[in-house]
């Protein structure tokens, strides 16, 4: 079946511009997660959705970052006034139930963002 998809796969933008990254989770998955992977660094948690609500957005690095999820499905991560330090691969994952425990997360291929 279809996995998690993300678009665009690559995005180059000028410093100061806004960008929107899209994630299409696996159909029926309740939980959705955004992560950031910088060069040479481990994955960094950004935000977690359960349905359309975000019970944990503690990983968002600044108020320039926001995310929403609609219809319990598609999510968009928006970065306003991009900075060069925002350059990274942004990964989205979904899981069937969310919550605690050992719910398996399925990752998308990521969006590589480069801010020039």
Partner 1 sequence: KNQVEQSPQSLIILEGKNCTLQCNYTVSPFSNLRWYKQDTGRGPVSLTIMTFSENTKSNGRYTATLDADTKQSSLHITASQLSDSASYICVVSAGEGYSTLTFGKGTMLLVSP
Please give the residue ranges that form the binding site for partner 1 (CB under 8 A): 4, 33, 40-45, 48, 55-56, 58-59, 91, 93, 100-102, 104-110
- The answer to whether residues 83 and 115 touch, using CB atoms and an 8 Å cutoff, is yes
Between 14 and 27, whose beta carbon lies closer to partner 1?
27
Between 64 and 112, whose beta carbon lies closer to partner 1?
112
Min separation Cβ 10 and partner 1, Å: 10
Min separation Cβ 109 and partner 1, Å: 5
Between 80 and 105, whose beta carbon lies closer to partner 1?
105
């Amino acid at each position: 079946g279809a996995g998690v998809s993300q678009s665009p796969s690559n995005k180059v933008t000028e410093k100061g511009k806004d960008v929107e990254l899209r994630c299409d989770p696996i159909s029926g998955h309740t939980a959705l997660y955004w992560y950031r992977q910088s060069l040479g660094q481990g994955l960094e948690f950004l935000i977690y959705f359960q349905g359309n609500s975000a019970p944990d957005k503690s990983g968002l690095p600044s108020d320039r970052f926001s995310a929403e999820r609609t219809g319990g499905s598609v999510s968009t991560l928006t970065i306003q006034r991009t900075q060069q330090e925002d350059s990274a691969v942004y990964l989205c994952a979904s899981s069937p139930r969310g919550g605690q425990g050992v719910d398996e997360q399925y990752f998308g291929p990521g969006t590589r963002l480069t801010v020039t």
